[in-house]
Amino acid sequence: MPRYIVIDIVIEGGTIVTMDDERRIIHDGGIAIEKGAILEVGNRDDISAEYKAKRVLNAEKHAVLPGLIDTHGHSGHSMMKTIAETVPGWGTMIEEVYLRGVKEEFWYIDSVLASLERLKFGVTTGATFLGGGRGAYRTDDPKFAELHMDGAREVGIREILGLGPVGRAPYTPREYHDLDGEKKTSRTVDFDGMMKTTRKIVEKYGDFNSLVTARMTVSSIAPNLDDLSAEDQAIVRRQAKEIRALADESGRGIMAHGGGGVIKSAKELGLMGPDVMLIHCGGLTEEDINIFAETGTHVSHCPRARAIMRRRCPVPELIDAGVNVALGTDGSAPDRTFDTFADMRTAQTIQRHYFHDSSYMPPGKVLGMATIDAANALGIGKEVGSLEVGKRADVILLNMNKPHLTPRFMIPQRIVYEAYGHDVETSIIDGKIVMENRVVKTINEERALDHAQRVAEEVVEYNDLEKYMGLPEGFWRSSKYG
């Protein structure tokens, strides 16, 4: 009788950065994975003596981390990146394209493309708004959310999709075009119609462990109630009640953009709380920060987002007040990537520059903001975000045997200061090896990229976007665009 147990996967060797409560780092470690979950984390010798596995991954000269979690992105953006990056009315342009200028296929292949990019950068869970700009959600019909979910599921990445009413409260009807039939059809959908679609999708995708989940989302958490007429205030209150009710029913809360000027109103409308994650949070006052702390509302800080150029997110002040702050990428248009390592460093640079002090934003804290803090912000901290017994097995292996990562000392600092998404070599999601030695195991990557290219070319042509794709005045020799 063998002494050992045969399980699915054993990871042997390497430096394990657990991100557990004690922030344990295990040199020459081992991880046992069975039925999608972490069975044991410990020393290599102990794990090897106890288990035999169908797959043994040698992690020597590697760092082993919990999969990164990107708390905020936008669907559609992967297909639209860089286009119109200098256009002041970018949000209006993108809304036109998303609501009236793309076919169904666009939402599927965008999701595949975004999921592939995230996977190849070490992101194992992403949260995504179904659209972008000023709230260009495709909540006119459930099929768009379904196509998005299909794409993410085929790649094999965890996805939390946010959808809800379009625009800003009070929500007004929007016109959508359907380009898939024999000829273009148009429909107008109001708040009730958008909420109906949202409800359907939130109910359909409820189980986090089936990889894809949906969540009640509004583009902007609330207007400033003081700016509205009594009539509009009444509409906003009624709509907010419905949004809160669906969030409560689903048990999955709310995701939304938000920042200084609307936090008091959001609290009054019942839209702040421990099940709420607000994105950007620029320009917060001390009073706002106190509301975050007292309501337990989470922050998704996207340091490379354009919103942050306008108003700083007071990350150190929020952390000092006891608020949970996570990192997000804000998707990939017009000028970003899903490489969360870049966000870790940018988050440091912004605050260190602001305070003229390089002791702000220590690497360990920043790494937490992309793993366990991010999981907590999304309400999934019991399932993922750290390498601990009983959690789902979302694990990434970084090859540290490279010029920019050697000598292999001070692993957590080295990762935050020097690593890139491309250094992630192998990704395990829910106990399944989804990428190994940078080869995606679930779908044919090359075919997917060709598909995305073809659809993007059609979208450029249909929406006449070529005018936004040249080199504008000031591109080569000026300090700013003309």
Site for Zn ion, rule CB under 5 A: 330
The span from the CA of 350 to the CA of 309, in Å, is 10
The span from the CA of 4 to the CA of 52, in Å, is 6
DSSP assignment, residue 67? Answer: P
Classify strands 174-178 and 185-189 as parallel, antiparallel or unpaired: antiparallel
Cis peptide before 334 (omega within 30 of 0): yes
Smallest separation, CB 300 to Zn ion (Å): 9
Smallest separation, CB 153 to Zn ion (Å): 23
Torsion from C-alpha of 457, 462, 464, 465, nearest 10 degrees: -40
* 121 three-class SS: coil
| Inter-residue contact 200 to 194 (CB < 8 Å) | no
- Residue 185 sits at φ, ψ, to 5 deg, of -120, 155
Question: Who contacts 22 (Cβ-Cβ below 8 Å, separation ≥6)?
Answer: none
| Closest CB to Zn ion among residues 235, 307 | 307
| Closest CB to Zn ion among residues 276, 428 | 276
| Inter-residue contact 398 to 406 (CB < 8 Å) | no
Smallest separation, CB 257 to Zn ion (Å): 6
Smallest separation, CB 336 to Zn ion (Å): 10
Smallest separation, CB 74 to Zn ion (Å): 6
Torsion from C-alpha of 175, 181, 184, 185, nearest 10 degrees: -40
| Closest CB to Zn ion among residues 330, 383 | 330
| Closest CB to Zn ion among residues 77, 391 | 77
| Inter-residue contact 46 to 253 (CB < 8 Å) | no
Smallest separation, CB 76 to Zn ion (Å): 12
| Closest CB to Zn ion among residues 92, 210 | 92
CB count within 10 Å of CB 321 equals 14
Smallest separation, CB 331 to Zn ion (Å): 6
Which structure tokens are listed for 62?
């590697």
Of 475, 467, 279, nearest to 378 (Cα)? 279
| Closest CB to Zn ion among residues 219, 324 | 219
Smallest separation, CB 302 to Zn ion (Å): 7
Smallest separation, CB 359 to Zn ion (Å): 30
The span from the CA of 308 to the CA of 325, in Å, is 15
CB count within 10 Å of CB 187 equals 13
Smallest separation, CB 72 to Zn ion (Å): 6
> Which residue is at the shortest CB distance from Zn ion?
330
| Closest CB to Zn ion among residues 299, 416 | 299
* 201 three-class SS: helix
Tell me the CA distances in angstroms from 299 to 17, 325, 377, one per residue in order.
24, 5, 7
| Closest CB to Zn ion among residues 258, 385 | 258
Dmax over CA atoms of the chain, in Å, equals: 78
Smallest separation, CB 328 to Zn ion (Å): 8
| Closest CB to Zn ion among residues 146, 330 | 330
| Inter-residue contact 325 to 299 (CB < 8 Å) | yes
Dihedral sign, Cα of residue 75, residue 77, residue 79, residue 84: positive
| Inter-residue contact 102 to 176 (CB < 8 Å) | no
| Closest CB to Zn ion among residues 34, 330 | 330
| Closest CB to Zn ion among residues 37, 307 | 307
Cis peptide before 362 (omega within 30 of 0): no
| Inter-residue contact 231 to 281 (CB < 8 Å) | no
Instruction: Tell me how many degrees the CA angle 324-304-334 measures, rounded to the nearest 5.
Output: 130
Smallest separation, CB 182 to Zn ion (Å): 35
